[in-house]
């Protein structure tokens, strides 16, 4: 599928053709790895730009969030509880492959198995239904008095206490990355925006200066 773009700003009304190849495959590749769909179409510059901006934003959010801000709910995927527990992940998964390890970690926790990729990486927080191995309590050192500890009701509360504002900021960065990639996916599927001028405006642009 070739998309034709008419450049009406040029005197010769030049035509630029962009081969979108298979738009559906391009959209899938753009979701799987940000920018990959554009590279598949030969739009390498735009693909590299999308990859750097989106993946960079996603992993920067992961970094400042200690690897804990991207995770999927342990509830059934088709239930409303899945969205209520962690609606942010629905946005984060828009970044494609970088967010998919969270689904692996989720399933391991549901099966009461040891998580992969390190204990903190994209693992859902332990709670009442899925207690931590060994039955450890959720404790933090008191920030005002280091000789005392703070007991949390669940691990999510502990993460918010330990990371403070960084937990929310990291979450926002990863959500933004996922939503930005939705725009990139649409661009890979539909191609660049075409602005067509009315015939009268075209004639005015192409008319010689008096």
Q: Which long-range contacts (CB under 8 A, 24 or more apart) does 8-11 make?
A: 8/196, 8/197, 8/202, 8/205, 8/206, 9/205, 11/206
The pLDDT score that the predictor gives to residue 150 is 82
Inside any domain, residue 206: no
CB-CB contact of 106 with 71 (8 Å): yes
| List of residues 6+ apart from 204 with CB closer than 8 A | none
Indicate the number of domains in the chain. Answer: 1
CB-CB contact of 26 with 189 (8 Å): yes
Inside any domain, residue 122: yes
The pLDDT score that the predictor gives to residue 52 is 97
The pLDDT score that the predictor gives to residue 5 is 45
CB-CB contact of 163 with 65 (8 Å): yes
User: pLDDT averaged over the chain?
Assistant: 84
Inside any domain, residue 126: yes
* Measured CA distances, 58 to 15, 164, 208 (Å): 37, 19, 50
How far is it between the farthest Cα atoms of the chain? 86
129 phi, psi to nearest 5 deg: -80, -25
Q: Are strands 2-6 and 15-19 parallel, antiparallel or unpaired?
A: antiparallel
Inside any domain, residue 158: yes
Check the CA dihedral 189-191-197-199 and report its sign. negative
**Residue-range definition of the domain harbouring residue 79:** 21-190
Inside any domain, residue 52: yes
Inside any domain, residue 125: yes
* Measured CA distances, 187 to 49, 55, 85, 184 (Å): 13, 17, 31, 5
| List of residues 6+ apart from 133 with CB closer than 8 A | 114
Inside any domain, residue 87: yes
Taking 50 as the pLDDT cut, the residues of the chain under it are 4-8, 209-210
The pLDDT score that the predictor gives to residue 4 is 43
Inside any domain, residue 132: yes
The model's pLDDT over 16-46, given as tens digits with 9 standing for 90+, comes to: 677 788 999 999 999 999 999 999 999 999 9
The pLDDT score that the predictor gives to residue 151 is 83
């Amino acid at each position: 599928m070739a998309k034709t773009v008419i450049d009406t700003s040029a005197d010769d009304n030049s035509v630029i053709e962009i081969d979108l190849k298979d738009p559906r495959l391009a959209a899938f590749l753009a979701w799987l790895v940000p920018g990959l769909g554009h590279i598949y179409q030969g739009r390498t510059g735009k693909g590299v730009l999308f990859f750097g901006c989106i993946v960079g934003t996603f992993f920067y959010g992961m970094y400042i969030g200690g690897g804990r801000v991207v995770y999927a709910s342990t509830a059934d995927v088709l239930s409303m509880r899945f969205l209520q527990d962690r609606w942010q992940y629905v946005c984060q998964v828009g970044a494609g492959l970088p967010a998919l390890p969270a689904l692996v970690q989720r399933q391991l926790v549901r099966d009461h198995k040891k998580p992969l990729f390190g204990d903190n990486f994209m693992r859902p927080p332990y709670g009442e239904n899925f207690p931590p191995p060994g039955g450890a309590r959720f404790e933090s050192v008191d920030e005002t008095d280091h000789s005392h500890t703070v007991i949390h009701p669940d691990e999510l509360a502990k993460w918010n206490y330990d990371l403070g504002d960084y937990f929310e900021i990291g979450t926002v960065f990863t959500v933004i990355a996922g939503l930005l990639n939705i725009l990139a996916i649409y661009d890979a599927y539909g191609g660049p925006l075409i602005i067509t001028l009315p015939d009268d405006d075209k004639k005015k642009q192409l008319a010689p200066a008096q």
